[in-house]
């Protein structure tokens, strides 16, 4: 099978959306500092572009987690592969995600972070695939709502490939 990437959102479209999101976040956090929690690895590209466009004071930390076990909220377990370096107690935190799919990992991550007593904890995502949702998550800032397609680029991967594409593309598998 050959992999073909079809452009879905151009670099210009993505960047102008991120600028819009940054403006909204700037307004909402006026007079405050914001602590960005970047979820590795996919969100790195989005997080950098967002951070560059914010004018309020910004700090950034990184974490990597996956969920395992039953996918229901009550029994799902969070496997933290890399935890945050610093405490988030008393900080206004914004989780930065590349895409929300089932919502399973993210809802567990939100719950775990909320227990660490941040002053506030919001969520922003570049892409949302609501058709695939299994666990409800409250999203505060959404870039694009997309159909149920597998997408790559702008940080998103397929088998660790394509993260470096400057645009978001739909991945198609075709017979050779």
Residue 106, interface with ligand IMP (CB under 6 A)?
yes
Stretch that binds ligand IMP, among 44-52, 81-89, 95-103, 113-121 (CB under 6 A): 95-103
Binder to Mg ion among 35, 42, 63, 94 (CB under 5 A)? 42
What residues from 60 to 119 belong to the interface with Mg ion (CB under 5 A)?
Answer: 98
Q: 34 vs 80, 93, 109, CA distance in Å?
A: 23, 6, 18
Which lies closer to Mg ion via its Cβ, residue 42 or residue 103?
42
Nearest distance in Å: CB 90, ligand IMP: 27
Nearest distance in Å: CB 36, ligand IMP: 16
Nearest distance in Å: CB 44, Mg ion: 10
Active site residue 98: no
Strands (E), the chain: 2-9, 34-39, 58-68, 77-82, 92-100, 120-128, 141-145, 151-152, 168-174
Residue 36 CA to residue 34 CA, distance in Å, equals 6
Extract long-range pairs of 27-30: CB within 8 Å, 24+ residues apart: 29/56, 29/92, 30/56
Three-state DSSP string of 44-93: HHHHHHHHHHCCCCEEEEEEEEEEECCCCCCCCEEEEEECCCCCCCCCEE
Which lies closer to Mg ion via its Cβ, residue 49 or residue 98?
98
Comparing CA positions, the residue from 6, 41, 5 lying closest to residue 160 is 41
Catalytic residue among 70, 101, 128, 148: 101
Binder to ligand IMP among 9, 37, 99, 121 (CB under 6 A)? 99
Residue 101, interface with ligand IMP (CB under 6 A)?
yes
Residue 153, interface with ligand IMP (CB under 6 A)?
no
Please give the residue ranges that form the binding site for ligand IMP (CB under 6 A).
42, 97-106, 150-152, 156
Residues with catalytic function: 101
């Amino acid at each position: 099978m050959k992999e073909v990437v079809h452009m879905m959102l151009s670099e210009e479209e993505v960047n102008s959306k991120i600028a819009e999101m940054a403006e909204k976040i700037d307004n909402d956090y006026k007079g405050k500092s914001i602590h960005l929690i970047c979820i590795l690895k996919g969100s790195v590209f989005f997080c950098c572009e967002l951070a560059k466009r914010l004018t309020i004071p910004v700090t950034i930390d990184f974490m990597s987690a996956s969920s395992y076990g039953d996918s229901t909220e009550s029994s799902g377990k969070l496997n933290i592969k890399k935890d945050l370096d610093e405490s988030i107690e008393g900080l206004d935190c914004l989780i930065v995600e590349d895409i929300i799919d089932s919502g399973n990992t993210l809802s567990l991550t939100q719950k775990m972070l909320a227990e660490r007593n941040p002053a506030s904890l919001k969520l922003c995502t570049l892409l949302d695939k609501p058709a695939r949702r299994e666990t409800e998550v409250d999203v505060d800032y959404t870039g694009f709502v997309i159909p149920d397609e597998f997408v790559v680029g702008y940080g998103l991967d397929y088998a660790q490939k394509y993260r470096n594409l400057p645009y978001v593309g739909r991945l198609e598998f075709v017979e050779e």
